Structure 1
Amino acid sequence: MNKKITLAAGVALLTLTVLLTIVYAALSGVFVSADHIPPCDVSESYAEDAILKVCELGLMNTYTINGEVYFYPEMEVTRGELARVLVTYFEIDPGKYESKELGFADEADIPDSLLPYVRAALANGLMQLQAGYVFHPYDYITREETAYLFGALCTAEISAGKSENFSDFDEINPYFETNASKVVDFEIMIGYTDGTFRPKQVLTREELALILYRLLSAENFTKG
């Protein structure tokens, strides 16, 4: 009986350790990349094609456990992970920022593997600091914040008025609204089947993969 209890406890501890490792990686945006190996957990995701493409291009990272490659489609996206993705998408060399201190309040608290990406994102205007001159890399990012950041990249003009189709678009922070309308009009971000945009909802990795996938084919998005 004691042996069974000990074995069960050992298995539980191992499982907990693996889960904690995954959660830490997701929060920090630090994932172990597996070159050209498709993730095994995306076949049920509505964004499967997008996920496979962005992973193939190295735009988003995967996590490897016991030889299996995972993407975790429903995992929520942190500001740190988004910084890494944006810098990678725009082919900015994070190495140039390894020793370039920007002096924001929580700079010393960011892991060395992520810090150059955060600095690069800030220095190139891809992301901004929050109140108190902090970045908060472990904070989750909402759909309205994401829409604002990607909308800021748009240099084209369009007024399709597609945002009016969402029953909750008026819930978006007025500061984010103009940019959010751009990504909706260009269909870089879309809503849900119930007619909502859900601006306050946290962005997931599969949603981010879809955004990147659409950007790859949206030639006019950054052309005026």
Structure 2
Amino acid sequence: MTKLTSKIVLSIVLVFSLFTVGTQSAYAALFDPLPFEDRELGRNSNAYLAMKNRPTTQEQQRFIQEVTPYAVRASEQWGVPASAIIGMSILESGYGTTRIAYYANNLFGIKVWGFNPANAWQLKGQPDEDFERAIPIIENLGTDRIIFDESQRRDNWYRQFNSYEEAFNFLAGTLLQNQRYGFAREKYQTNLTNGMSIEDASRQYLFDIAHAGYNHLGGSYYRDAVGRIMNQWNLFEHDRRDNGSTKSTDGSVFRDVNGHWAKESILFAAEKGWLNGHSDQTFRPNNHLTRAQAATILSNFLNLQSEGTPVRFNDISTNFWAFDAVNLVAQNNIMNGTGNGNFSPSTNVTRAQVAQIFFNAGFYSQPAQGGTRAFTDVRDDHWAVVAIETMRQEGIVNGYSDGTFKPNQPMTRAQLAAIIHRLYENNELK
């Protein structure tokens, strides 16, 4: 070998070495280290953790916005609850920030058992999960600090997907349809037909698949763990395929509004198409409204039209289900952002915010003047005091029998139905 050839080879080796070290350093910088990355700080259990200091609230919201359309389409095609598979993706992938999600788009921890299988990514350093054969150990540094011979493993390969959408389609269309889990889908559909609420049916579905082996911690754990996430983000809303009907299959009205104080307003608003019922013939009058849901209802009620350049928010992507409605209420200055360029679509809208919304829309003859306040819990310096007092004087919003308005309490579907019914009856929109 000539001196020139030797130099070229050495240069290539050095470049490759630097690239390898740089890649490993970048990998380690994102996540808490594994034993083969750091002999002192590395832990095998770190393999399952999300990225350091991640995800932020904004990243959580963006993740949900991104995956929801995939889950809804998968639900419509294969009959599994969208809320459940969104919640599963959040729990299993840390909102898309685990190693498996980051490097393989695998949001559900779906494995491919075997030695160097095709279309799979290896999670090196994870604890030994092969209970049938011993995995060779290169060095044992102590509990949770084992360096394995990764070339001799078949228990830490995970299916690699090209996209999140592909991951959802495989989960809903293949894995959850097989002989082991397919019964849970049939049971879910039967439960809905027999009148079980969507919330309970979705949670039962989680129990059934976990009990059948999807999660080794069991049905009760999985139902409760994913269920908390579903409640936190109101994911059940994505299971509700609105039919716009105010009647159930037997010709009666919503089966959960008889005797409700806002029944007349609910039926009126539903007949107008401003608020819809759900596929199980319920209205759920006491459910809270998110800001995205409120934006959708308001854009329908006010028949808002686009005012030119779209208003963009950091936490609202163009494929978000309420993108058009949010844009319309923002363009028309009906609802504004919550600061830092965000809209906070999954945050509940409060009673004070709703009063301000209708004040912004101009539903009053004249604004309230300073003076005696009607509500004991709305101070003169409250940010929405003028809106609340004005809407009270106009007969649009009411307080409670104890003299309070509860401005920070979330608005319910029934309360909003009553408000827009009053507005209509006041001839504002006739």
Q: How does 1:1-224 map to 2 (within 5 A)?
A: 14-16=201-203, 17=205, 23-26=234-237, 32-37=242-247, 38-65=253-280, 69-92=281-304, 101-108=310-317, 111=320, 113-152=321-360, 153-157=362-366, 159=368, 164-170=373-379, 174-219=382-427
Residue 145 of structure 1, CA deviation: 1.0
The letter of the residue matching 2:316 is: E
The letter of the residue matching 1:195 is: G
SS in 1 for 2:317: helix
Q: Is the 8 A contact 1:160 1:185 kept in 2?
A: no
Return 5+ residue gaps in structure 1 as ranges: 1-5
How many residues align? The count is 204
TM-score (norm 2): 0.42
CA distance in 2 between partners of 1:188 and 1:35 (Å): 26
Residue 165 of structure 1, CA deviation: 3.1
2:173 corresponding residue in structure 1: none
CA distance in 2 between partners of 1:163 and 1:51 (Å): 33
The letter of the residue matching 1:169 is: V
* Identical positions, percent: 22
State the Cα deviation string for residues 86-137 of structure 1 (Å, max 9, x = none): 11011135xx69xx753321121762x3111111111111110111111111
CA distance in 1 between partners of 2:348 and 2:310 (Å): 24
Q: Is the 8 A contact 2:274 2:301 kept in 1?
A: yes
CA distance in 2 between partners of 1:102 and 1:167 (Å): 37
Task: Point out the structure with max Rg over C-alpha.
Answer: 2
CA distance in 1 between partners of 2:363 and 2:372 (Å): 16
The letter of the residue matching 1:176 is: A
CA distance in 2 between partners of 1:53 and 1:120 (Å): 24
Taking a change above 3 Å as real, the CA distance of residues 125 and 196 of structure 1, as seen in their structure-2 partners, is same
CA distance in 1 between partners of 2:345 and 2:412 (Å): 16
Taking a change above 3 Å as real, the CA distance of residues 51 and 163 of structure 1, as seen in their structure-2 partners, is farther
Q: What RMSD in Å do the two structures reach over aligned CA positions? A: 3.4
Residue 187 of structure 1, CA deviation: 1.3
Taking a change above 3 Å as real, the CA distance of residues 123 and 145 of structure 1, as seen in their structure-2 partners, is same
Residue 161 of structure 1, CA deviation: 8.3
Taking a change above 3 Å as real, the CA distance of residues 123 and 165 of structure 1, as seen in their structure-2 partners, is closer
Taking a change above 3 Å as real, the CA distance of residues 213 and 14 of structure 1, as seen in their structure-2 partners, is closer
Q: Which has the higher contact order (CA 8 A, sep 6+)?
A: 1
CA distance in 2 between partners of 1:206 and 1:180 (Å): 19
The letter of the residue matching 2:283 is: F
CA distance in 2 between partners of 1:83 and 1:147 (Å): 14
Q: Is the 8 A contact 1:163 1:169 kept in 2?
A: no
Residue 148 of structure 1, CA deviation: 0.9
CA distance in 1 between partners of 2:333 and 2:288 (Å): 23
Residue 197 of structure 1, CA deviation: 0.8
Residue 25 of structure 1, CA deviation: 4.7
Q: Is the 8 A contact 2:242 2:279 kept in 1?
A: yes
CA distance in 2 between partners of 1:126 and 1:197 (Å): 21
Q: Is the 8 A contact 1:75 1:205 kept in 2?
A: yes
